[in-house]
Amino acid sequence: MRVHGGPSREGANRPLRRRLRVLVCCLVPLLWAVQTTDVVRAEPVADRGDVRARIVGGTATAPEAAPWAVALTDSAGTHFCGGALVSAREVVTAAHCTLDPTTGAARRPTDIRVVLDRRDLRTRKGEVIAVEEVWRHPRYEHFTRGDDVAVLTLRSRASASPLKLVDAGEREGYRPGTTGTVYGWGRTAESEPTSPVLRSVRVPVMSNSGCSRAYPGFDSDAMFCAGYPDGGKDACGGDSGGPFVVGGSLVGVVSYGSGCARPGYPGVYTRLSSYTTKIRDVAVAPVR
Ligand code: ARG
């Protein structure tokens, strides 16, 4: 776009001004609309009263009820994701949690802290353990393409009891209608801040066909969906990497979703039974 093109002659001035007016009245609003689309779209859901004060529909949860639920923070102590302890030395989280969301660069192990037994992230209660190694699924590219799984190996043993990892190839826990519980310190609605306290919400697993209607790129080997057709209960931003638990086993990892708790858009989770063998392989301590 050459608005300031060439020396200004008397005669060329008028078309230039008209061009400028076109620029201001059409292009500027267009750019503005493109830039703010996400925010504009986010409002209607967040404004519906009953969705507001919850994890998106859940309740505050004591660490004793979920001792294996961990928060991931950076070296400054800022929470960015969740995870689940599956051995004394291993935390399962999302692959996308191991990358810096703005630059896409890999987070260094020394820049990740695992926080255990801390219900309220504003306190210093509980245990903080440094990360020795990060294993991110080697085929991971983007959460919408699957393989959104990572294993963090802790520098020392956690005292909390680990959660049982789903068996390889298990199908039981993924039957449509099976209710699971998802845990995290994420947003309580699309445009609400993240929660200082651990929250959890129960959501039913959705069929693969229902899920691919919502997300055309859905890959049933790598993912599953959970949520109600009418929305209202879901994980949200900041819950990523957190556990989805069915019958005392870790079956899923919070991966992505279109907004949060929107009707017709369930949450998408990593189908861990496809990755159990790999996770057991990279673990340095026995995984249940
Ligand atoms: N990617 C999000 C995060 O970084 C998790 C989104 C989950 N969204 C959902 N609607 N279930 O925390």
Q: Is it the case that residue 34 has pLDDT exceeding 90?
A: no
254 Cβ inside 6 Å of ligand 1 = yes
How remote is the CA of residue 260 from the centroid of ligand 1, in Å? 7
**pLDDT at residue 47, rounded to an integer:** 32
Average pLDDT value for the chain: 86
Q: Which atom of ligand 1 is nearest to the CA of 262?
A: 10
Which residue do the tokens 């509980």 mark? 126
Rg (CA), the chain: 22
The per-residue pLDDT for range 158-201, each reduced to its tens digit, is: 999 999 999 999 999 999 999 999 999 999 999 999 999 999 99
73 Cβ inside 6 Å of ligand 1 = no
Q: Is it the case that residue 8 has pLDDT exceeding 70?
A: no
Q: Which atom of ligand 1 is nearest to the CA of 240?
A: 12
**pLDDT at residue 55, rounded to an integer:** 77
In the chain, CATH 2.40.10.10 covers: 67-161+275-281, 172-274
Q: What percent of the chain has pLDDT over 70?
A: 81
User: Other CB atoms closer than 10 Å to residue 203's CB: what's the count?
Assistant: 25
Question: Which residue of 240, 258, 260 sits with most ligand 1 atoms within 8 Å of its CB, as the best mutation to test the pocket?
Answer: 240
Q: Which atom of ligand 1 is nearest to the CA of 239?
A: 12
Bigger pLDDT: 187 vs 24: 187
pLDDT band at 54 (very low <50, low <70, confident <90, very high): low
Bigger pLDDT: 163 vs 16: 163
- Phi (first) and psi of residue 12, to 5 degrees: -80, -5
User: Other CB atoms closer than 10 Å to residue 65's CB: what's the count?
Assistant: 12
pLDDT band at 217 (very low <50, low <70, confident <90, very high): very high
The amino acid at residue 72 is L
Q: Which of 191, 195, 200, 240 is catalytic?
A: 240
Please give the CATH number for the structural domain made up of 172-274.
2.40.10.10
Please give the CATH number for the structural domain made up of 67-161+275-281.
2.40.10.10
Q: Is it the case that residue 46 has pLDDT exceeding 80?
A: no
> Residue 3: is it exposed, middle or buried by C-beta count within 10 angstroms (0-12/13-18/19+)?
exposed
Does the active-site annotation cover 137?
no
How remote is the CA of residue 40 from the centroid of ligand 1, in Å? 18
240 Cβ inside 6 Å of ligand 1 = yes
Q: Which residues pair with 226 in a beta bridge?
A: 205, 267
How remote is the CA of residue 261 from the centroid of ligand 1, in Å? 10
Q: Is it the case that residue 13 has pLDDT exceeding 50?
A: no
Residue 2 CA to its chain's centroid (Å): 42
Does the active-site annotation cover 96?
yes
The per-residue pLDDT for range 253-284, each reduced to its tens digit, is: 999 999 999 999 999 999 999 999 999 999 99
How remote is the CA of residue 227 from the centroid of ligand 1, in Å? 13
How remote is the CA of residue 158 from the centroid of ligand 1, in Å? 26
The per-residue pLDDT for range 108-159, each reduced to its tens digit, is: 999 999 999 999 999 999 999 999 999 999 999 999 999 999 999 999 999 9
